Amino acid sequence: MPGDLGHTSTVCLGATLQAPVTWRSPDAHWQEPLRRVAVTGGTHGNEMSGVYLVRQWLRTPVDLQRPSFSAVPVLANPAATAVCRRYIGRDLNRTFTSTFLTSKATPDELYEVTRARELNHLLGPKNSSQAFDFILDLHNTTANMGTCFILNVTDTFAMHLCHYLQLQNSEPPSRVLVIEASEDTTFSVDSVAKHGMTVELGPQPQGVLRADLFSRMRSLVASVLDFIELFNQGAAFPAFEMEVYKFLGCMDFPRSEDGDLAGMVHPQLQDQDFEPVQPGAPIFQLFSGEDMLYEGDSTMYPLFINEAAYYEKNIAFMKSKKLTVSIPALPVLTPNPTPLT
Amino acid sequence: MPGDLGHTSTVCLGATLQAPVTWRSPDAHWQEPLRRVAVTGGTHGNEMSGVYLVRQWLRTPVDLQRPSFSAVPVLANPAATAVCRRYIGRDLNRTFTSTFLTSKATPDELYEVTRARELNHLLGPKNSSQAFDFILDLHNTTANMGTCFILNVTDTFAMHLCHYLQLQNSEPPSRVLVIEASEDTTFSVDSVAKHGMTVELGPQPQGVLRADLFSRMRSLVASVLDFIELFNQGAAFPAFEMEVYKFLGCMDFPRSEDGDLAGMVHPQLQDQDFEPVQPGAPIFQLFSGEDMLYEGDSTMYPLFINEAAYYEKNIAFMKSKKLTVSIPALPVLTPNPTPLT
């Protein structure tokens, strides 16, 4: 499930996302080649594509090498991976905040707090010039999300990467989910680096490794590294327009007074991720037999419908709107590859 | 995943299943109407159809009432259900053996050992005249198993029930998986009763409640109760022939020397539960890229392909053969309903 969506309750990231999108001008991070790149898997220990890809790369790191850099494979949450659970004490991918990262270690702190500090030491420190240039974080979802890239709207480099991936891997189609978060409000593992992105592949049950998704993720990672290599070699990436889904908030399940589920995702909504939902369309089926209808006032695009890991977060699905964004050109670097030693 | 398949290692139940099937003559259990019936859900705490159906029936037990009997809904593993895991200490559905059920309680025993003893007290004692007449145990699987009934070949009553369910619920089709086990070797919750059966619906990820499968399971349970009512009322159930899948054994994943996975279920096998596999067909894709082929000497029918809960049991899929069996008529009871009080 998503690696970098900022919510642990039903309405997330709040009203700022209702405001018109403002696309920041490119920052200074990518005026230099990207040399320090990490690919993280097992951030959630029961999302198996990334877990087994990272294990393979740890044995055969040559797959992550390119002429100008070599990506580092990182098994982000080894303890959760060992027991095939999302996390041990708390969701690691919600733990990369300044509060946790700067806290003083204590003997009884949760495992993922310790681990986030370790990863920040390895790949960061977050928001510093020493941080890695790029982190690609690999996830699966039980929802019918297909191939989805999740990134911060302010990361122009990552937006170009998505565009490249869509062109290189047109079948099956991939979608782009953008969020808007400042450096102060990010909390995911990829937020530790100067640039970053989450890849979500689904549907895949927790604890299951499907060969088709494994192959698709391996191919996508290869394309990500190819793109970084092209950028490092001085390739030009002109401005373009792109269709994206912008995260708006979350919708909880209908619940009884005691907080238990009072219904389920409606059969007409199940598996319909990225498909438009009109006001008045059925979104839940109550155990009593009644339908609950969508009460919004405009077309909504649901995402992560019925994701297993979100029941505990009170999320039945996420809401987004579809829009077209204009992305400026990337600066062209002067070719200056550093051969691998 | 299955509730009553006798294996915790790669080859299960052994060579006796290779022998010709011998269909025992009906035993004396069902010379009387069935009055004491239980429907169990949450035997595995992350299989959500049964968990939420039982929760509903505990609120509205009228759905489980018929003129001659009233079925009891039982949340079999409440502690595992509360944390949405298959089990806490050990698989409850492997714990109904005489060894566990007759062991003396100790303060440090595993939760499921205590719970199995409690359920045996509530629904059994197993192999006694006081035991419940019928237990229907509700399960989900992450595999593409559709609707599957699992039962002991010696339970003629349950075989008739399956036949009835297939006629009453023809779409989507349902399959029957038969095992052969003596009273001494059974270990599942439904083995506590005089008759019993497991219903498996899939695919559904662990921790996810799909409305379509919830509705299908609710409908199947209603048909089960209808069948018992018809039997109690003296309906005739003549002999018939039926296509079944007979459990033969299990196949582990390819593994490296350290025991970790060396490959995945082959894309050509994934989701092909109940479809014939010929010798020489690819069944695994190694991480190295090679295919592994099926080395059996005859057609095999794979089941529970890539079930999440079976990774820890070293099972990539189960093997079965398809055959037609002849089931004798059920005795016709003299109508003598006992109205509900």
Cβ A207–B260 below 8 Å, yes or no? no
pLDDT at B337 over 60: no
Nearest-by-Cβ selection for A212 from B211, B212, B267: B267
Amino acid letter for position B84: C
Q: What DSSP line would sit under A44-73, residue for residue?
A: STT-HHHHHHHHHHHH-GGGGEETTEEPEE
Assess B320–A contact: CB distance below 8 Å, yes or no. no
Q: Please tell me the predicted confidence (pLDDT) of residue B145.
A: 98
| H or E element that contains A136 | strand A134-140
Cβ A211–B287 below 8 Å, yes or no? no
- Distance, in Å, from the CA atom of A191 to the CA atom of B47, rounded to the nearest integer, reads 34
- The torsion of the CA quartet A49, A52, A58, A59, rounded to 10 degrees, works out to -130
Mean pLDDT of B40-59: 98
User: Higher pLDDT residue, B171 or A124?
Assistant: A124
Assess A332–B contact: CB distance below 8 Å, yes or no. no
Q: Please tell me the predicted confidence (pLDDT) of residue B339.
A: 52
| Chain A, window 212-251: residues with a beta carbon less than 8 angstroms from a chain B beta carbon | 212, 214-215
Q: Please tell me the predicted confidence (pLDDT) of residue B154.
A: 87
**If pLDDT is split at 50, 70 and 90, which confidence band does A20 have?**
very low
pLDDT at B305 over 90: yes
Contacts of B137 (CB under 8 A, 6+ apart): B3, B4, B40, B41, B43, B50, B76, B93, B188, B189, B190, B196, B197, B198, B199
What is the tens place of the pLDDT at every residue in B143-170? 999 999 999 988 999 999 999 999 998 8
Q: Please tell me the predicted confidence (pLDDT) of residue A8.
A: 29
pLDDT at A6 over 70: no
pLDDT at B6 over 70: no
pLDDT at A341 over 90: no
Cβ A306–B264 below 8 Å, yes or no? no
Cβ A205–B264 below 8 Å, yes or no? no
Interface contacts A/B by beta carbons within 8 Å: 82
Amino acid letter for position B198: T
Mean pLDDT of B261-276: 98
What is the tens place of the pLDDT at every residue in B80-118? 999 999 999 999 999 999 999 999 999 999 999 999 999
Cβ B308–A267 below 8 Å, yes or no? no
Percent of chain A residues topping a pLDDT of 90:
84
Backbone angles phi, psi at B45, to 5 degrees: -70, -5
What is the tens place of the pLDDT at every residue in A66-121? 999 999 999 999 999 999 999 999 999 999 999 999 999 999 999 999 999 999 99
Q: How far is B303 from chain A (nearest CA, A)?
A: 15
Largest CA distance in chain B: 66
Cβ B264–A308 below 8 Å, yes or no? no
Assess A144–B contact: CB distance below 8 Å, yes or no. no
Largest CA distance in chain A: 66
Find, in chain A, the residue whose alpha carbon is nearest to that of B213: A267
* Integer Rg of chain A from CA: 20
- Give the length of chain B: 341
Q: How far is B179 from chain A (nearest CA, A)?
A: 26
> Which region among A25-29, A61-65, A273-277, B241-245 has the lowest average model confidence (pLDDT)?
A25-29
Q: Where are the alpha helices (DSSP H) in B251-314?
A: none
User: Higher pLDDT residue, B195 or B335?
Assistant: B195
Backbone angles phi, psi at A280, to 5 degrees: 95, -10
**If pLDDT is split at 50, 70 and 90, which confidence band does B335 have?**
low
pLDDT at B3 over 60: no
Separation in Å, CA A107 to CA A110, A114, A121, B103: 9, 10, 19, 39
Q: Please tell me the predicted confidence (pLDDT) of residue A295.
A: 97
Average pLDDT score, chain A: 90
